[in-house]
Amino acid sequence: MGLFSKDIQSFEDLFMHGLQDLYYAENQILKALPDMIEKAPSAELRAGFEKHRKETEGHVHRLRQVFELLDSEPKGDKCPAIDGILKEGKDLMGEIEGDDVMNVGLIAAAQAVEHYEITRYGALIAWATELGRTDVVPHFKANLAEEKATDQKLTAMAEKRFNPRAESKTERPKAKSTARRKPARAASRPAKGKRAPAKKTRRRA
- Closer to Fe ion by Cβ: residue 61 or 75: 61
Q: Which is nearer to Fe ion, 61 or 165 (CB)?
A: 61
Tell me the closest approach of the beta carbon of residue 180 to Fe ion, in angstroms.
Answer: 38
C-beta of 60: minimal distance to Fe ion in Å? Answer: 8
Our CB check for Fe ion shows the closer of 85 and 99 to be 85
The rounded distance, in Å, linking the Cα atoms of 121 and 117 is 6
- Which residue lies nearer to Fe ion by CB, 28 or 99? 28
Residues that bind Fe ion (CB under 5 A): 26, 56, 59, 117, 147
Distance in angstroms (rounded) separating the CA atoms of residues 37 and 47: 8
b/e map 140-172, b = 16+ CB within 10 Å:
beebbebbeebbebbeebbeeebebeeeeeeee
Residue nearest to Fe ion (CB): 59
For the CB of residue 26, give the shortest distance to Fe ion in the complex, in Å. Answer: 5
State in angstroms the smallest separation of the CB of 130 from Fe ion: 23
CB of 101 to Fe ion, least distance (A): 23
| CA–centroid distance for 178 within its chain | 39
Between 26 and 99, whose beta carbon lies closer to Fe ion?
Answer: 26
Q: 181 by DSSP, 3-state: which?
A: helix
The minimum distance between CB 29 and Fe ion, in angstroms, equals 6
Q: What gap in Å lies between CA 190 and CA 90, rounded to an integer? A: 46
Who contacts 144 (Cβ-Cβ below 8 Å, separation ≥6)? 117, 118, 121, 122, 125
Q: Which is nearer to Fe ion, 47 or 191 (CB)?
A: 47
Whole-number Cα distances in Å, 58 to 55, 61, 81, 100, 124: 5, 5, 22, 30, 17
